[in-house]
Amino acid sequence: MSPLLYYAVPALGSYVMVSIFFLRRPRLLHAPRNPAFRPRLAAHRGGSGERLENTLEAMENSVAQRADLLELDCSLTRDGVVVVSHDENLSRQSGLNRDVGSLDFKDLPLYKEELEVYFSPGRVAHGSDRRMVSLEELFQRFPRTPMSVEIKSDNEELIHKIADLVRHFDRNEITVWASEKSSVMKKCKAANPQMPFSFTMSRGFWVLLLYYLGLLPFVPIPETFLLCFLPSIINRTYFPFSCSVLNRLAAVLSRWIIMRKSLIQHLEQRGIQVVFWCLNEESDFEAALDLGATGVMTDYPTALRRYLDSHEATSCA
């Protein structure tokens, strides 16, 4: 054996052992956080499988099912109202080919009478309430219900208006910043640094890299939430690519890379709450919770509540 290998192999082995030791015992290096809430049941777009997405009726239905978190997307109207809408363009939702930002709040169209449930292709949702709602109205109606607010566009006016609304309604600890883009998240944190925030896409890849390099136990993590897709839904209810071959490849690779129980448990023990989206079948609920996730984000809060209650009753029996 060469001198290099003679020293390198034991050193590498020691490093791996130390990394695994602290991966399983992160509280020896990091003080655990005490989050204001733990979302076991998160309602995607307010529960868009049971009522029309992002309507007040959808939110009320989810809250009736004891949802721990309402997931929202926001845009800004021409007259400066923060409106809850997944799409900036209103074609899919209402049939009107206009952007939210080109209309005053009072002129926003009604939702269609039925909308396809994005993560359950072929299923549609109906509801008697078809009105688009402002974020301020939701804060007034559900003052203590935690909400995740996703910012899709780099719109500083939108970001600051949301930050101000959160302060006004004293919701700093129960309203979560969410965005896929790190550049947008940086502005969100600056606008209201008291709000918890989730991983961006690039930061999620960064955590995975640290995990596989064995460095994750030694690096501080400021995020409070990891809102992550469950790899098993790719090519079944979620199609990130137009090419079926790429979808199959993504399903295999992401399942192998992300679905690591030791990773999820490590984050959980550090107070980083892991919520898998967007799951609408019992088998997916079970897969996510078996990994040790904090909770599940779903379009069907009634189905998830039934599942959680039945399994909690079984475990207590």
**196, part of any domain:** yes
Task: Please write the tens of the pLDDT for every residue from 12-36.
Answer: 667 678 888 889 999 999 988 888 8
Number of domains in the chain: 1
Task: Determine the structural domain holding residue 225 and report its residue range.
Answer: 40-316
pLDDT tens digit sequence for 128-162 = 999 999 999 999 999 999 999 999 999 999 999 99
Confidence of residue 316 (pLDDT cuts 50, 70, 90): low
Is the residue at 77 inside a domain?
A: yes
Q: Which residues pair with 242 in a beta bridge?
A: none
17 within some domain: no
Phi-psi sector, 126: left (phi>0), alpha (psi -120 to 50), beta: beta
Any domain includes 96: yes
- What the block records as the tokens of 272 is 């980083």
102 domain-assigned: yes
CATH of the domain at 67: 3.20.20.190
Evaluate if residue 314 carries a pLDDT over 70. Answer: no
Task: Classify residue 133: in a domain, yes or no.
Answer: yes
pLDDT digits (tens, 9 = 90+) for 82-130: 999 999 999 999 999 999 999 999 999 999 999 999 999 899 999 999 9
pLDDT band at 257 (very low <50, low <70, confident <90, very high): confident
User: Beta strands 124-126 and 114-116: pairing type?
Assistant: antiparallel
In a domain, 310, yes or no: yes
Instruction: Note whether residue 21 is domain-resident.
Output: no
